[in-house]
Amino acid sequence: MVTGELRRRVDALWLEFWQGGITNPLTVIEQITFLMYARLLDINETRDENRERRTKKTFQHRFKDDEQHVRWSHIRHTPAEKMIPLVRDHVFPHFKTTAASGTAFAEFMKDAQLMIQKPGLLVKAINMINELPLTEGDTKGDLYEYLLSKLTTAGINGQFRTPRHIIRLMVDMVEPKPTEVIADPACGTGGFLVGVMEFLLHTYTSPEAVIEETDPESGVTQKIYTGDQLEAHRSHIQSNMFHGYDFDATMLRIAAMNLMLHGVDDPDIHYQDTLSTSFTDRFPNAATDGFDVILANPPFKGSLDFEDVHASILRLVKTKKTELLFVALILRMLKTGGRAALIVPDGVLFGSSSAHQALRKLLIDHNQLEAVVSLPSGVFKPYAGVSTGILVFTKGGRTDNIFFYDVEADGFSLDDKRERVGEDDLPDCLTRWRSRNPKRDTDRTTKAFFVPSSEVRDANYDLSLSRYKEMVYREQEYDPPQLILKRMKSLNDEVSAEIVQLMELLK
C-alpha cells in the first residue's frame, strides 16, 4: 500500500495539479499516468541497453537515434520554458509511434494530449514523478490504486484493483499455456493479463537464461526472466493471446500501457460493455468457439435492466444482478474445456434466490466446478470490506468433487493499513491445490478438503465454506470460583496491609 512518505509525495503532486488549474480528478490521473509511462519507457530502455551491452544480444529499441531527446533522462533536465513544447510537441507524439499503427496502444493514445499549460506545474510534476519508486515491486499498481481512491466514485460500482498476490494465486491455479487465448471481460488496468505474462516468463525461462541485475535507481538486485523458451510463440503472445474489455477508456489506456511495458506490443483491448446486447457472439481475434482461459474480478454491485443484457446470458441465468451475470458471461465466453478463475462476493456462494441457486446448479451439474477458495474480508481494504471467494471451474463435463480452501491470512494485515505480516496461507493453498487428491483430502478440520458434489446438491447447492468445514472446539479449563475468590481476597489483604504501612510512615 501507499503509505508514509510516498503517500505524502503523491498528495503533494495531486495538490500541485489542483493549484495549477487541473481540477478534474480523472484528468489528473491521466496526466500523472502519461508522465509515469514516459519515465517507465526510459527505465525499460536503459535496462535493455545495459543487458545488450552485457549479453551482446540486440533488442527492439523504443527510441531511435533521432528520438533520444524525448527520453525521460533528457526531459527532466530541460529548462522550464522549453519543457512544455518538448513534452507537448515531441513526447506525446512519440507515444503514438511506440506501437505499430492499428494496435491497441496506438488506438488509445491517438487522443492523448498534454493538459498542463503552466511550465512551473510541469517541472514540479516531472520532479516529483522522478522521485517515485516506480521500479520497486508493484509500486506502479499501488500508486494507481491510491490515485483511484481519490475519485469520489471509486468503489461505488465495485471497481477496485485486485491485489497482485491474489492475481498471482489465481493465475498459478489455472496455469495458462503460451499457445492459449486469454481474456478478462472487466480488465480495468490489465492486472490479470499482466499476471499471465509474468507467469509465462517465470515458467518458460531456462535456468541459464535467468539474469540477475541491480536496478540503478533502487539498488535492489532482482532476477529477470527472459522467457527464452517462448520464442516459438512470440507472434501469438504479441498480438493474439491477450484480450481485455472494459467500458472505462482511461482504464483501457492504462491496460494497454501496462501490457506494452510487459512485452505485449499489440493486445486486443476493447472499449466494450461485455454484458450488453452489443457484445457479439464472435470474439475479436479469438477462436470462434471461445477463449481457453478467463481470469477476472468483475464488478460486484449494481443491477441491469433485462433489455440491456445479452440474451445468451439471460438464457443461462435470469437475473439483473451483475455479479451473477458476469459468471454466466464467462461461461458463455469460454470454449468447451476452457478454464476460469474469478473473484465473486460471498453472496454468490450461498445466496438463496432462485437465480443464485440456478447459477450454482449450472456450474455443478453442467460444468466442472473445481475449487472454492474463501478469502478473508480485509483483502480489498481500505476500499471495500466485502467478503469474497475465488471460483475455479472448467466449461463442460461434470462436477464430482469440489476443492475447498480456507484462506485466513494473505500476508498482509486485514485492516485499512494492509501492512505486511508473517501469516500467509496463499503458498499453502497453491501447494495443496497442486497436490490435491479427493480420496486423501477428506479431513474437514484442516484448511483444505474436498466435498462430494452430491452433498452440495443436497444442501441446495450451497458453496459457503462454513457449511462444510468442521470446527474443532477445545474445552477451556478454569480454576474453581472458590479458588479464584480466595486469591482475590489474599491480594486484597496484601494491598490493605501496605496501605496501613504507608499511613504509618506519613504520620
What is the DSSP code string of 263-282? T-SS-EEEE--TTBTTS-SS
**Where does 120-241 show beta strands of DSSP type E?**
182-184, 210-214, 221-225
pLDDT over threshold 70, residue 276: yes
Res 138: pLDDT = 53
Q: Classify residue 85 by its DSSP letter.
A: H
Contact yes or no for 182/243 (Cβ under 8 A): yes
Instruction: Kindly report, residue by residue over 415-456, the tens digit of the pLDDT.
Output: 887 888 889 999 999 999 999 999 999 999 999 999 999 999
- Mean pLDDT of all residues in 158-162: 61
C-alpha distances out from residue 116 to 28, 94, 429, Å: 10, 17, 47
CA-based torsion, 439, 444, 446, 451: positive or negative: positive
**Is pLDDT of 36 > 90?**
no
For residues 105 and 496, the model is more confident at: 496
Contact 393, 370 (CB under 8 A): yes
What residue type is 145 in one-letter code? Answer: E
Q: Which three cell numbers stand for residue 55?
A: 549479453
| Cα separations in angstroms, 240 against 179, 200, 225, 234 | 10, 15, 22, 10
What's the mean pLDDT in 154-162? Answer: 53
Write the DSSP string, 208-240: GGEEEEE-TTT--EEEEE--GGGGGGHHHHHHT
Q: Each residue of 374-428: pLDDT tens digit?
A: 999 888 877 677 889 999 999 999 999 999 999 999 988 888 878 888 899 999 9
Note the pLDDT tens digit of each residue in 289-323.
789 999 999 887 666 666 667 777 888 888 888 88
Contact 275, 326 (CB under 8 A): yes
Q: Is the pLDDT of residue 53 over 60?
A: yes
Pairing of strands 221-225, 210-214: antiparallel
By residue count, the chain amounts to: 507
Average predicted confidence (pLDDT) for the chain = 84
CA angle 119, 121, 123 (to 5 degrees): 70
pLDDT tier for residue 154 given thresholds of 50, 70 and 90: very low
- Give the mean pLDDT of 14-30: 84
Between 279 and 424, the more confident residue is 424
Return the closest-CA partner of residue 264 out of 442, 459, 100.
100
Compute the 3-state secondary structure of the chain and give helix, strand, coil in percent, each to the nearest 5.
45, 15, 40
pLDDT band with cut points at 50, 70 and 90 for residue 156: very low
Q: 453: which 3 cell numbers?
A: 458434489
Residues of 46-58 as b/e, b for ≥16 C-beta within 10 angstroms?
A: ebbeebeeeeeee
Rounded CA-CA distance 448/371 in Å is 10
130: cell is 522522478
* Biggest CA-to-CA distance, the chain: 99
How many percent of the chain have pLDDT more than 70?
86
Element spanning 121, H or E: helix 119-131
pLDDT for residue 139? 61
pLDDT of 351 strictly over 70: yes
Dihedral, CA of residue 366, residue 371, residue 377 and residue 383, to nearest 10: -70
How does pLDDT run across 89-142, given as a tens digit for each residue?
Answer: 999 888 777 655 556 666 667 777 889 989 999 999 999 888 887 766 556 656
Q: What is the pLDDT of residue 498?
A: 92
How much is the average pLDDT of 175-186? 94
Asked if 342 and 322 count as a contact pair (C-beta separation under 8 A), the reply is: no
CB 93 within 8 A of CB 112: no
Q: What is the DSSP letter of 176?
A: -
Q: Which residue has the higher pLDDT, 240 or 286?
A: 240
C-alpha cell at 365: 451439474
Q: Which residues make Cβ contacts (< 8 Å) with residue 200, sequence separation at least 6?
A: 176, 178, 227, 230, 237
Q: Of all helices (H) and strands (E), which one includes residue 24?
A: none
Regarding predicted confidence, which is higher, 336 or 102? Answer: 336
Which pLDDT score is estimated for 465?
93
Predicted confidence band of residue 172 (pLDDT cuts 50, 70, 90): very high
Pick the range with the lowest mean pLDDT from 71-75, 98-102, 322-326.
98-102
> Which three cell numbers, joined as nine digits, stand for 465?
465454506
Task: Give the relative orientation of helices 4-19 and 139-149 as an angle to the nearest 10 degrees.
Answer: 50
- Give the Cα separation of 16 and 371 in Å (integer): 48
Quick check: 138 and 281 in contact, CB under 8 A? no
What is the reported pLDDT for 160? 57
By C-alpha distance, which of 450, 303, 286 is closest to 370? 450
pTM: 0.79
- Using DSSP's 3-state secondary structure scheme, residue 411 falls into strand
- CA distances 189 to 39, 85, 244, 443, Å, are 18, 29, 9, 40
User: Which of 416, 413, 351 has the alpha carbon at shortest distance from 383?
Assistant: 416
Grid cell at residue 362: 449450472
If you search the block for the grid coordinates 471461445, which residue do you land on?
290
Say what the pLDDT of residue 225 is: 84
The pLDDT value given to residue 158: 43
Read off the amino acid at residue 329. L
pLDDT of residue 152: 45
Residue pair 281/252 in contact by the 8 Å Cβ criterion: no
Cα 323 to the chain's mean position, in Å? 17
Residues 6+ apart with CB under 8 A from 431: none
pLDDT at 157 (0 to 100): 42
Report how far residue 319's alpha carbon sits from residue 303's, in angstroms, rounded to the nearest whole number: 9
Tell me the mean pLDDT in the region 151-172.
Answer: 70
The partner residues of 79 in beta bridges, in order of sequence, read: none
